[in-house]
Amino acid sequence: MFFRKVTSKSNGKEYTYVKLIENYREGNKVKQRVVANLGNIEDLTPEKVQSLITGLNRICGFSQDIAQEIESKKVLEFGEVIAINKVWDFLGVSKAISQSMQDGDNQDIPLLVELMVMNQIIKPRNSKAVSDWYRCLYLPHLEGKRLTVDQFNEALDLLVSNKDMLENHLYEAINKVLPLNTETVYCNLTRAYFEKTDSDSESILETPDRKLVEAGILLTRDGIPIGGHIYPVSLNEEDGFKEKMEGIKETYRTKNIIFVGKQAIIGEENIQLLTAYGHQYIIGLELRFNREVERIQGEMRAPGETFTHLSDNMAYKDINIRNTRYIICIDTQKADAKKKWIDNRLSSIEKELLQIKKWVSEKFGTNARANFYKASGILKNTYCKRYFDCWYDEKNFQFDYEQKSDIIERDKSYAGKFILKTNNMELTSQEIIKSYLNYRKARNEIKLIKNYEPFPEESWEKRIKGHVFIFMLAYLVEKTLERILVSNGMSISASKALAMLEDIKVTVNQLNNSEIKSVTPAYEPQQKILKALGIKQLQRMLDGY
């Protein structure tokens, strides 16, 4: 005899029942019949199940202390894993990867890529290689898999080798389920650090090896990533820049490519090259020590009521100077917080400077050496040097200070502000600001790319390209998850939603010769997220791993 789950539909709703089935023979055929119906699975609480087990044990004369016979084996990550997997399947990424593969390629490549994407999104705090880390996850299609370092590296190599073909298939797959507006595409120029550890090193304190990566990540108007094409960022004609741009326009059927980035990353030479090639740009200017910013200093210090409100916390002012637009943006919430921080910092430093003044008048007091070193510490402080002029008259034992009111006023006027420079005259101010905010979100996600799989030094460049592609896929999954949640009335970030699902685990226990896998319960906020992803109810008991 054995138990079976039977699902039926009534009035558009699914119901699952648990039944006790037995096999019996009729002639030469083996048939099955229902011995008992245990009712709706939703009504079978752990207490009711335990009561049935206890009663059966008592009747059969078996041991009552079942708990002593259960051995806990492991706990696996499940909540955030199943959510990422649902979005992955929704986008059809595995199918797009399979379409880009050759007959002889490892058929686990889509799974290997999915696991690397999960690793990028979840960002485990430890430094485990993904070839070790994946073992702490529960996914049905991981059953019986033993994945190696070489297989993960093979998957990265395939991503790089088939990059153009894969991006074509991926774009077509995404466009079917998530219609993309690619009339204008934003090429976000950014930098990240690619970090790897020395696999031969035995020291946990050794600093990981890092290399600077320059990349161009393509985003749609809505901030959806669709590709990455420039490694490193090079806008010179001899590096095939024009051909790359034509390729992007053909692949994504786009009319206009706008380059977005920080002034320090793009550089003045590249800005001039973009202008010479007839391309448009949106640049986030550096505020300090910048002549362009000094030219619009008066507008920067203008009262808040002269700015146009974009949202509750965002306002802007659009200035046109000789065919160049400067958009001064202010995040009022951040501005208030920054001004408060400056005031608190000034108060804290001034309190210590007053103490120094007292010590000096007392010839550094009874504990002269300690007081001297303490005074040296605050006088070397970055913000003390920025906001205060200090002087010491050794002959007369006098110490005094004065606030740099002009610097303080300038920093407060900069609080919460950023300035965008663009040669685009068609887009609205709101669209330009939105594109730059999308760029900042993507840049914050890609600041550090970690890799803990060992590979030869000569493979650096290829591995970097592969990992940048993994980042693009991970960011695509996150943005899609956010869109799904928003469409279901939940305005929360992907990272917050996944953090909420982190508590849902799969516990694996051994009972005699049987392995029992059960899912920890999902509570209302978690159920709401899962329901938005099409997961109506998690099974409490799992059949296989």
Last residue of some domain: 60, 86, 106? Answer: 60
The whole-angstrom separation of Cα 544 and Cα 517 is 8
Could you tell me the residue range of the domain that residue 29 belongs to? 2-60
Tally of CA atoms within 13 A in the half-sphere of 1 that contains its CB? 7
Residue 231 has pLDDT above 80, yes or no: no
Q: Bridge partners of 418?
A: 329
Q: Which amino acid is at 461?
A: E
Cα 343 to its chain centre, rounded Å, is 33
Q: Which amino acid is at 437?
A: L
- What DSSP designation does 492 have? -
Residue 486 has pLDDT above 50, yes or no: yes
Q: Which residue has the higher pLDDT, 72 or 179?
A: 179
Task: Tell me, yes or no, whether 511 lies in a domain.
Answer: yes
DSSP string, 163-187: HHHHHHHHHHHHHHHS----SEEEE
Summarize the confidence of residues 316-336 as an average pLDDT: 93
**H-helix or E-strand spanning residue 365:** none
Question: Percent of the chain, pLDDT > 70?
Answer: 87
Q: Are 468 and 213 in contact (CB under 8 A)?
A: yes
pLDDT at 461: 74
Question: How does residue 204 score in pLDDT terms, banded at 50, 70 and 90?
Answer: very low
Cα 453 to its chain centre, rounded Å, is 20
Query: Across the chain, what does the average pLDDT equal?
Result: 84
Summarize the confidence of residues 391-411 as an average pLDDT: 87
Question: How does residue 544 score in pLDDT terms, banded at 50, 70 and 90?
Answer: very low
H, E, C per residue of 401-466? EEECHHHHHHHHHHCCEEEEEECCCCCCHHHHHHHHHHHHHHHHHCCEEEECCCCCHHHHHHHHHH
The whole-angstrom separation of Cα 67 and Cα 49 is 14
Residue 199 has pLDDT above 50, yes or no: no
- Say how many C-beta atoms besides its own lie within 10 A of residue 419's C-beta: 24
Residue 480 has pLDDT above 90, yes or no: yes
Residue 331 has pLDDT above 50, yes or no: yes
Number of domains in the chain: 2
Identify which of 96, 70, 20 has the alpha carbon closest to the alpha carbon of residue 513.
70
| Four-residue CA torsion sign, 525, 528, 533, 536 | positive
Sequence-ordered alpha helix ranges (H) in 263-367: 263-276, 291-295, 297-300, 332-361
Which of 79-88, 351-360, 453-462 tops mean pLDDT? 79-88
The whole-angstrom separation of Cα 66 and Cα 353 is 70
Summarize the confidence of residues 491-515 as an average pLDDT: 87
Residue 401 has pLDDT above 50, yes or no: yes
Using CA atoms, how far residue 286 sits from 197, 322, 425, in Å, is 33, 20, 22
pLDDT at 41: 81
Question: How does residue 205 score in pLDDT terms, banded at 50, 70 and 90?
Answer: very low
Task: Tell me, yes or no, whether 520 lies in a domain.
Answer: yes
Tokens of 57: 């044990």
The structure's pTM equals 0.75
Task: Tell me, yes or no, whether 97 lies in a domain.
Answer: no
Tell me whether residue 21 is exposed, middle or buried, using C-beta atoms within 10 angstroms of its C-beta: 0 to 12, 13 to 18, 19 or more: middle
Residue count (the chain):
545
Task: Tell me, yes or no, whether 516 lies in a domain.
Answer: yes
Q: Are 485 and 510 in contact (CB under 8 A)?
A: no
Q: What is the pLDDT of residues 41-58, one digit of tens each?
A: 878 777 777 777 777 777
Task: Tell me, yes or no, whether 28 lies in a domain.
Answer: yes
pLDDT at 477: 94
Last residue of some domain: 11, 29, 60? Answer: 60
Task: Tell me, yes or no, whether 330 lies in a domain.
Answer: no
pLDDT at 73: 79
Q: What is the pLDDT of residues 247-270, one digit of tens each?
A: 888 888 899 999 999 998 888 888
Question: How does residue 19 score in pLDDT terms, banded at 50, 70 and 90?
Answer: confident
Q: Which residue has the tokens 């990455």?
A: 228
The whole-angstrom separation of Cα 495 and Cα 492 is 8
Q: Are 54 and 64 in contact (CB under 8 A)?
A: yes
Lowest mean pLDDT among 143-147, 207-211, 327-331: 207-211
Task: Tell me, yes or no, whether 90 lies in a domain.
Answer: no
Residue 200 φ then ψ, to 5°: -90, -10
Summarize the confidence of residues 208-224 as an average pLDDT: 82
Strand 29-40 versus strand 70-77 pairing type: unpaired
Last residue of some domain: 60, 90, 105? Answer: 60
DSSP string, 115-145: HHHHHHHH--SS---HHHHGGGB--GGGTT-
Q: Which residue has the higher pLDDT, 34 or 326?
A: 326
Q: What is the pLDDT of residues 108-156, one digit of tens each?
A: 999 999 999 999 898 776 667 888 899 999 998 887 889 998 899 899 8
pLDDT at 315: 93
Residue 208 has pLDDT above 80, yes or no: no
Summarize the confidence of residues 271-295 as an average pLDDT: 88
The whole-angstrom separation of Cα 474 and Cα 115 is 10
The whole-angstrom separation of Cα 149 and Cα 470 is 16
Q: Are 480 and 91 in contact (CB under 8 A)?
A: yes
Residue 456 has pLDDT above 50, yes or no: yes
The whole-angstrom separation of Cα 181 and Cα 220 is 6
Residue 191 φ then ψ, to 5°: -130, 150
Tally of CA atoms within 13 A in the half-sphere of 449 that contains its CB? 29
Task: Tell me, yes or no, whether 121 lies in a domain.
Answer: no
